[in-house]
Structure formats: structure tokens, C-alpha cells
Chain A
Amino acid sequence: MIEISFKNIKKIYPGEKIALDDLNLEIKKGEFLTVIGPSGCGKTTLLKMINGLVMPTQGELLIHGKNIKDIDIIALRRKIGYVIQQIGLFPHLNIEKNISYVLKIMGVEEDKRRKRAEELLSLVGLEKETLEMYPRELSGGQQQRIGVIRALAADPPIILMDEPFGAIDEITRKTLQDELLKLQERLKKTIVFITHDIEEAMKLGDRIALINKGKLEQIASSKEMFLILELLL
């Protein structure tokens, strides 16, 4: 089943070059798609289109078969987890409130939010006491673990990740990648994961999309991509 479908998508920012050029891409339900490409290739634009932070100039973007232009964007975003490189935890809220922020703005009751936060925290192996702590008091790796489970709070079918481990040290990054794979085994979300690290893309993705200069150059499973690269190099 197709969850997200880009049809002849074009994006031009006013006064700038073309960010996405006639892009066609179908993302299946439950697949882990990694998107790789050089900086400025349009991969972040592609990602932000899925949660409506960027709107296409031309073409159709369908989510669950519905055109994004006809969808209530606020409701859509609440059903899409979003993890960014800068993490973006709210510094004035403690970890519990950070994790359950989406639930709060959706009007979920306090004790249910608390329960959900505890449940999610155990997914990434952090102590319960962490709930009372503030983002500043955590290490970078711990902060991004919170960033990931925060995206899972409302149990969304789709998770968008924009170079989530890009600013994290090598060793912690490997751990976080492994944890993410384990999580995905259990949760079977549709994940779109942006990276510029080919190793990361191969390790995590069921399929890998290669974007260059706003165009989809190649899309293949990690095995196929491995062979393609071997031929090229």
C-alpha cells in the first residue's frame, strides 16, 4: 500500500533556483526510506513537504491518497512524527511535558499523557526520573532519544527524520541507529529519513533514494544500491 506519493512535484522558492524538479516518488506503508544527497539538493524540501511546512509549486502530493492541499494541515502534522537535527526540545518544559506536548495540544487528559510519557521513555531505556528533568540536563544523545520518542507520542503512522543524528558523536550515533532499527522492527512505521552519510543510509533504509539537484537520481533497495555503488566505484 502506498502511504505517500509525489507526482511530478516541482518546488521553486521565490528568487531562487529550483529546489525540486519534476520529482516522482512513492513511499510504501511501513517502509524505512532513507533519502541521501549533497547539501542543497532538495532533500529537506522533500521532507518538509510531507508535513506541509513547504508547499509544492507544481504537481500533486498525496498522503493516504488525498492531495495535501485538501488536507487540514494542523491535523495532518499531529499524525506525523517530526525529528530534526537541532532536536528542538522545548527548554522551558521538562522531559515529560516535552514528550507529551502533541498529546497536550490534542487535548488528551493529564494522567494519560503521563502514562504515555513513561511508556515511551522505557522504549529507549531511560530512567523514570528523567521525566522530571529539563532538556539542558541531558546529554546530546539522550536529548535526541527524547526527540525520537516525542515524535512517537501520538502513535503517528508516519515519522519524518531530518538528519536526526547528524550533530551527535560517532559512537552515540551508532547506538542511536541500532536503537532506531530495533524500534522500527516493533513499530513498523513509515519512516522517511534524511541523511548525507551513505553508510547511515545503507544501514537504516529498506530503500534508498538518491537526490541530486532537485531530481530523483536513483531509488533502490539497500542491496541493489550496494551493487550499483560497487559497479560505479
Chain B
Amino acid sequence: MNLLREVIDQYINRSGFFLEAFIEHIELSAMAIILVTLIGVPIGIIMSRYPKIAPPILSFVNFLWTIPVIAFFGIMISVLGLSTLNALFALLIYGLLPIVRNTYVGIMEVDKSIIEAGKGMGSTKWQLLFQIELPLALPVIIAGFRNMAVMTISFAAIASFIGVGGLGKAIWRGISLNNLSMTIAGSILIAALAIAVDLSLGYIEKRVLLRVQGRTKGGIVNE
């Protein structure tokens, strides 16, 4: 109970510091999430147009994903130095896998008979992609986005270790000052942010899924 008191005291006594770190954290994560989406979704779409190049690309983003985060930041510091760019780059590398994979798989898993009907009716490639394939793949793409967003928020804590700011700062400072309550206070905020984003994206994912399946009301539907 003492620890809980101390954590609460942290929030009260250093509210300015935590607020600033919290905002920095959101800024960094949001930038990374937008960047990953802008790069990852087109890669996934291109892979679905040329399925032959998909396996090597998937293996590559998978490989990037398996590099230990700390090791990667360490290497990147020597290349890009201590900068926001460095942190963004690292978050991009880790975020790519879920979004690329889900965009690709989502499009590839659209029912072949629906694609054939769309094609046979005279859709151009772009019409097929934007009117049929992407809308139907959307729930899977959002699931990947959700995965990536939560991961980015938690990884952004480690980004603070290379001096970019964010809630990782509190964790880092807590560790070096041997101040447990500060570390916990920072961690709780990151976890809360991640959970809030996860829940709201989960809600959107569900809504989109129902929409795409054409279930307007929650009532009885024919299978």
C-alpha cells in the first residue's frame, strides 16, 4: 500500500513532468503509427498484386521483427545517433510486420468467387481493388493496425533510452535514481495508453467487420 501511495504522490508532485512525457509519448507513437501505415499498407497491396514477391518480403519483415529491440537501438545509435529520426526508424522497422502481413493476407483471403464476379462484370484493376478487395480486407487490416499501434506504444518506451523523451523517460530515470515508484508510475501510464488504444480499435474493428459482412442489425441472419 505504501508503494501505491508513493506512485500517487509521484503523479501529484511531478504532474508537469508526467504530463509532458505523456504528450511526448503520444506524439512519438502517433508519428510512428502514421508512418508505418503509410508505408506498410501500400507494400501489402503491391504484394497482393504480385504474389510471387510476397514470400521473400514477408520473410524479410519477419526477420526485422525478430531482432531484439535493445540490440537494434544500440546499433542504430551508432548509425543515426541520438535523435527522433532514429527512434522513428526503429519503430517503423518493428511496426511493419503486422501491417504488411495483414494487408496482404486480408486482400488474398477475399472470397475468390466474389473477385471473379467483380472481374467478370468488367471492373478495372483499380475498381476491383478499391470497390471490392480493400473494403472486404478492411477488418483484417484494422486488426493488424491495432496490433501495430499497441506494440508501437509499448516500444516507444524503449525509444526514450536514446534520448527522445516520452514516458520511457520516467522509467529510465526511476531505474537510474533507484526510484521504484517513478518507474512504476511511468509504466502504468504506458499500459493505460496501450489498453485504451487497444479497446477503442477493437471496437472499431468489430463495427467494420459487421459492416463488411452486411449485418446491419444484430438480429437473425441467414447463413
Give A residues with C-beta under 8 Å from B: 51, 53, 74-80, 82, 84, 86-94, 101-102, 104-106, 133-140, 150, 160
Contact = CB atoms under 8 A, between A and B. Distances in A.
B209 to A, nearest CB: 10
10 contacts: A77-B119, A80-B120, A88-B111, A91-B136, A91-B214, A92-B135, A92-B212, A94-B214, A105-B124, A134-B215
A80 B216 CA distance: 31
B114 interface: yes
B135 A84 contact: no
Contacts of B124: 74, 105
B179 interface: no
Given A92-B135, A92-B136, A137-B222, A78 B215 contact: no
B132 interface: yes
Contact of B120 (A53, A92, A138): A53
Contacts of B113: 84, 86-88
Interface in B62-121: 111, 113-114, 116-121
Interface residues of B, number: 26
B214 A105 contact: no
A51 B213 contact: no
Contacts of A136: 213-215, 221-223
Given A105-B131, A135-B214, A90 B120 contact: no
A140 B222 CA distance: 9
A14 to B, nearest CB: 15
A89 B111 CA distance: 10
Given A91-B136, A134-B215, A137-B214, A53 B119 contact: yes
A92 B122 contact: no
Interface in B147-195: none
A77 to B, nearest CB: 4
User: Which of B114, B116, B213, B214 neighbours the largest number of chain A CB atoms within 10 Å of its CB?
Assistant: B214
B15 interface: no
B127 interface: yes
Contacts of B212: 91-92
Contacts of A104: 131
B222 A138 contact: yes
A88 B114 contact: yes
B214 A77 contact: no
Contact of A134 (B121, B122, B216): B216
A117 to B, nearest CB: 15
A77 B216 contact: no
